[in-house]
Amino acid sequence: MRSRYSQWDGSQDPFGPDVPAAELLEEMSEDLLSGAGAQGAMSRLLRRGMQGRFTGLDALRARLREARAREQAALDLQGPLEEIRERLEDIVERERSTLSFRAEEDARMREAFLDALSPDVPGRIRELSDYRFVDLQAQREFDELMEHLKEQVLGAHFRNMAEGLRNLSPEQLQRFKDMLAELNEMIERRDRGEDHDFDGFMQRYGDFFPDNPRTLEELLENMARRMAALSRLMASLSAEQRAELQALAEQVMQDMDLAFEVDRLGANLSSMFPDMPWGEPTLAGGEDAMPLSATVDAMERLHDYEDLDRAMRGDYAGASLEDVDEDAVRRTLGEDAARDLRRLKQIERALEQAGLVSRRDGRLEVTPKGARKLGERVLIKVFERLRRDREGTHEAREVGGLAEPTGSTRPWRFGDTGQIAVQRTVFNAVLRNGPGAGVRLVPDDFELVEAEQRTEAATALLLDLSFSMPLRGHFVHAKRMALALHALIEGRYPHDRLYMIGFSDYARQMQPQDLTAAGWERVYGTNMQHAFNLAGRLLSKHPRATRQVIVVTDGEPTAHLEGEEVFFSWPPVPRTIQLTLAEALKLSKTGVTLNVFMLEDSPGLIRFMERLARLTAGRVFLMDDRELGAFIVRDYVSRRAQ
C-alpha cells in the first residue's frame, strides 16, 4: 500500500474529489422510481444536495438570503454623505477654534465666511476649495478629504481601480482620460460592427484593471455591474439626498475633467446591459456610516445575491446550472460554496460519462446500463438485509444451476459466481499493465470458465401500473423489486430469461429503463387478462424451461379485452373475472407456475385470488410492499438452487 502526502492548503477535499456516479444515481433512485423522470430526479438532487458530500441549491439559496438580509440590515444608505459631512464639520470647527484666539479683523471676517457656508455638502466643498485655512492641521485635513473624495467617487464608478488612481499626477490623470475615451470609442466601433483591438487596449491600459478581464464583454460587464450598483444607491436615497450626492460626484468629476467620458461610458453600458438593475431602489436599515465606495460595494453584493438567487431558482426559459456564476458564489459565500457549485455542475457530466444517463431529443433519460446499475444497488441492499435477518440463502455453486465447462471463458460481471479462469485473468492483467510492470489485478481483468447450462428458467414479471399503485404508495417498492430481480437474473443467472410486463388498461412488454420514465399512467383499469395472455405468448418461446409468472398487484381485475378494445367496469363484472381466470388456467395447463403478490387486502381481491389459487394450484401471498423485493429475490434464488 502506498500513501502520498502534501501540505494542506484548504482546497483538498477529505471525502475525495468526486462522488462515484453509481452513488449519484442511487441518490436519485427514489425520485426516479416515483415517476419524476431523470430530469426531475436530477433537479431534485441538485436542489437538496447529498448529505456529507456536497451542498444543494436550496441550502445555497438559504445562505444567500441570510447574507442578503445581513447586508441590508447593516447598510446605511446615508453613510457616504454623513461621513463627508462629519469630516467637514470637524475641519471647520478646528478652524473656528484657531480663529477664536486671534483678535485681528481678518479673523472676524473669516468667521463670518464660515458662518455663511452653504448647508449642503457640495456647496461647502466648493466654497472651501478657494479658502486658505489659518489652522495648518485643518488645511491638511481638508486636502486629504479632497483626495479621499476623488478616490471615493472614482471607486464608486470603477471597482478595483480607486487604489491605483490615488494621488494621480496630471500625467496619470490624462492617461486615465485617454483610456476612457479609447474604451468608449472601442464600444461604439463594436456596436457598428467594426473591428476593435481589445488585446492592444489591454497592453496599453491593463494596469487599470487588476481583475485582468479576458474579453471586452467581460470587462464591460464588470464595469456595468459597478455603475448599475451606483445607480441603485442613488435611486434608494431621498430626492434631497440624491441631489446632494449627485452634485458632489459631478463636482469631483468636473474638477478632474472626467465628467464627459464617464457619462458617455455610463450611457453605453446601460444600453448594452439593459437587464441589470439600473436605478432599482433597495431597502436598508443600518446605522454604521461607510464611505461611498464601500457603500457601492455593498450594493453590488446585493446584486450578486439577487442575481445568484434568480439563477439558482432557475424558473425562467432556458435556465441552466451553467448560468450560476462560480466567481460570484465565491465572492458572496466563500470557497466551500464555490466548490459545492462546481460539483453540482459536474453531476450530469459524471453520470453521462459513466453511461448511466443520456440525452435524447433534449431530454435526460436513464440508459439500460443505468437501470442495470440501479438494480445492482437494490440487489446489494436486499442481500445485506437477508444476511442480517439470517433468512434463507442465496448461495449457489454455479450460475443458473449445475453446468459443465465448455472450454471457453467469459468476462466476469457483477453478481457472477463460478470458477475463475486463472490463466486468462492473469493474461488480461499483464496485457493491461504492459511488459516489465508488476501485475495488479482489477475487476475488469477477471474471466470465468464458461459453463453450459443444463437448466433454464423463464419468468414473466407482471407489474400493475394502474393509477391506484402510486396513489397507495406501492409503486416505488414494486419498481425496486423489478430492478433487483432483473439485476439478479442478468448478473447471476445469465441463461435465465426475465420478461417484464406492465398492465393497466392494456398490457405491454417493458424494459428496465422504462421503470425510470417520468410520470405514471393516469388510467383506470386492471387488465390482468391481457397481461396473462401476453405472458403466455412470451413464455411459449421457452418450452423446455422452468416457467413461472410473478404478479404484483393491489387490486382485482377490472378490465378485459373485447376484440381490440378495452372494457372497464368498477366494480368488476362477472365476465371480466371469468376471462381473467380462463387466461390464468391456460398458463397453468402449459406448466407455468403462478405466484401472486397482493399489496392490499380488499375483500374483492381476496375472493378473486382464492379462486385463482384453487384453479391453477398457484401461490398467493399478501405482502407488505416494503418486504416485496427481499421475498421475491430470496424465493427466486432458493427455487433455482433446488
pLDDT tens-digit map of 415-439: 677 788 888 888 888 888 777 777 8
Residues 6+ apart with CB under 8 A from 502: 462, 463, 465, 508, 510, 514
Element (H or E) spanning 568, and its range? strand 565-568
Question: What would the 3-class secondary structure string for 155-206 be?
Answer: HHHCCCCCHHHCCCCHHHHHHHHHHHHHHHHHHHHHHCCCCCCHHHHHHHHH
Quick one: average pLDDT of 129-158?
90
> In this structure, what C-alpha cell is assigned to residue 305?
445575491
Percent of the chain topping pLDDT 90:
33
Q: What is the pLDDT of residue 400?
A: 40
Q: How are the residues of the chain apportioned to helix, strand and coil, as percentages rounded to the nearest 5? A: 60, 10, 30
Q: What is the pLDDT of residue 139?
A: 94
> In this structure, what C-alpha cell is assigned to residue 272?
448594452
Instruction: State the pairing for strand pair 457-464/546-553.
Output: parallel
With bands split at pLDDT 50, 70 and 90, how would you rate the model's confidence at 11? Answer: very low
Let me know how long the chain is: 642
**pLDDT tens sequence across 361-370:** 878 899 999 8
With bands split at pLDDT 50, 70 and 90, how would you rate the model's confidence at 391? Answer: very low
> In this structure, what C-alpha cell is assigned to residue 624?
407488505
What are phi and psi for residue 56, nearest 5 degrees?
Answer: -90, 175
What are phi and psi for residue 485, nearest 5 degrees?
Answer: -65, -40
- Cβ distance 418 to 451 under 8 Å? yes
Q: What is the pLDDT of residue 360?
A: 85
Q: What is the pLDDT of residue 5?
A: 56
Question: What would the 3-class secondary structure string for 268-294 be?
Answer: HHHHHCCCCCCCCCCCCCCCCCCCHHH
With bands split at pLDDT 50, 70 and 90, how would you rate the model's confidence at 14? Answer: very low
With bands split at pLDDT 50, 70 and 90, how would you rate the model's confidence at 461? Answer: very high
Query: Could you tell me if residue 429 is left (phi over 0), alpha (psi between -120 and 50 degrees) or otherwise beta?
Result: alpha
Residues 6+ apart with CB under 8 A from 200: none
What are phi and psi for residue 619, nearest 5 degrees?
Answer: -110, 135
Q: What is the pLDDT of residue 135?
A: 93
Domain boundaries, the chain: 25-75+307-354, 79-283, 403-452, 455-640
Question: What would the 3-class secondary structure string for 343-410 be?
Answer: HHHHHHHHHHHCCCEEEECCEEEECHHHHHHHHHHHHHHHHHHHHHHCCCCCCCCCCCCCEEEEEEEE
Give the least confident one: 223-227, 260-264, 337-341, 638-642: 638-642
* Global pTM value: 0.67
**pLDDT tens sequence across 113-128:** 999 999 999 999 999 9
Q: What is the overall mean pLDDT for the chain?
A: 85
Residue given cell 430626492 in the structure block: 239
Quick one: average pLDDT of 488-496?
86
**pLDDT tens sequence across 293-332:** 888 888 888 888 888 898 888 877 777 888 888 888 998 8
Give the least confident one: 59-63, 286-290, 407-411, 504-508: 286-290
With bands split at pLDDT 50, 70 and 90, how would you rate the model's confidence at 163? Answer: low
Quick one: average pLDDT of 148-163?
79
Quick check: 166 pLDDT over 70?
A: no
- Cβ distance 76 to 284 under 8 Å? yes
- Cβ distance 623 to 631 under 8 Å? yes
Quick check: 137 pLDDT over 80?
A: yes
Quick check: 451 pLDDT over 70?
A: no
> In this structure, what C-alpha cell is assigned to residue 49?
444536495
Residues 6+ apart with CB under 8 A from 309: 61, 64, 65, 68
With bands split at pLDDT 50, 70 and 90, how would you rate the model's confidence at 405? Answer: low
Quick check: 140 pLDDT over 90?
A: yes
Cα dihedral 416→418→419→425 (10° resolution): 0
Element (H or E) spanning 561, and its range? strand 559-562
With bands split at pLDDT 50, 70 and 90, how would you rate the model's confidence at 7? Answer: low
Q: What is the pLDDT of residue 637?
A: 82
Architecture (CATH level 2) of domain 455-640: 3-Layer(aba) Sandwich (3.40)
**pLDDT tens sequence across 18-38:** 578 888 888 898 888 888 888
Spatial separation of the C-alpha atoms in residues 195 and 183, rounded to whole Å: 13
Spatial separation of the C-alpha atoms in residues 6 and 2, rounded to whole Å: 14
Instruction: State the pairing for strand pair 54-55/49-50.
Output: antiparallel
What are phi and psi for residue 598, nearest 5 degrees?
Answer: -90, 130
Which residue stretches of 391-527 are H helix? 422-433, 468-471, 475-492
Percent of the chain topping pLDDT 70:
90
Q: Which residues pair with 568 in a beta bridge?
A: 559
Q: What is the pLDDT of residue 151?
A: 86
What are phi and psi for residue 134, nearest 5 degrees?
Answer: -75, -40
With bands split at pLDDT 50, 70 and 90, how would you rate the model's confidence at 90? Answer: very high
Quick one: average pLDDT of 547-576?
92
Spatial separation of the C-alpha atoms in residues 282 and 309, rounded to whole Å: 16
Nearest CA-CA partner of 117 in 89, 138, 79: 89
